[in-house]
Amino acid sequence: MGRRDTLSDGTVRICYHNGDWKEVGPQGDTVYFYAESGTRHTTYRSGAELVEFSSGQIEHRDPDGTTEIRYPCGAVTVLTPGGEEQTVYRDGTRRRHLRDGSREILLPSGKLEVHTERYKKLVCPDGTVKFLYPDGRQETRYPSGRIRIKDADGRLVVDTQP
């Protein structure tokens, strides 16, 4: 096993031969340190977990199944028990993966990209909506009501003027 010590506050510390160590606090919180990888894994009495990697990545896992991952680059990802994932990047870009497999990307410029199996859509702050379909067709809907459709080769097929 290894060496076992009891500290003055009641914490039990076990040191293993491979350099790992484990501490169990008097309140039931447990900290395990993996020497080879430099990873610290804390399990709280509440069931929450905190994993701190030597790279600077930090993961917080709630008992309800929600996981928050903080990356050294400043990005933060939240994974929900329902299967959704949202990442916020340092520049303000937000990316969401939804349970149905679609993705949404909200850019700092206010543009919203929606990616589904049926199309890719770009919604611009001015109200213009552009679609790109798997067969290569492109459709643009303007706030004025105008609709422009191009075929896969980029030839204009429809152009309505309201």
Within a domain: 25:
yes
Number of domains in the chain: 1
Provide the pLDDT for residue 2.
75
Per-residue pLDDT, 158: 93
Q: Residue 128 has what pLDDT?
A: 97
Within a domain: residue 127?
A: no
Task: Tell me whether residue 37 is in a domain.
Answer: yes
For residue 15, give its domain range: 1-54
Q: Mean pLDDT in each 10-residue stretch from start to end of the chain (162 residues)?
A: 84 94 94 97 96 98 97 97 95 95 96 96 97 97 95 94 72
The answer to the question of residue 42 being in a domain is: yes
* DSSP string for residues in the chain: -EEEEE-TTS-EEEEETTS-EEEE-TTS-EEEEETTTTEEEEE-TTS-EEEE-TTS-EEEE-TTS-EEEE-TTS-EEEE-TTS-EEEE-TTS-EEEE-TTS-EEEE-TTS-EEEE-SS-EEEE-TTS-EEEE-TTS-EEEE-TTS-EEEE-TTS-EEEE---
Return the pLDDT at 161: 79
Residue 131 located in a structural domain: no
90 within a domain of the structure (yes/no): no
pLDDT, residue 106, reads 97
Task: Report if residue 134 sits inside a domain.
Answer: no
Q: What is the pLDDT of residue 162?
A: 66
Q: Is residue 139 part of a domain?
A: no
Q: Is the pTM of this model over 0.85?
A: no
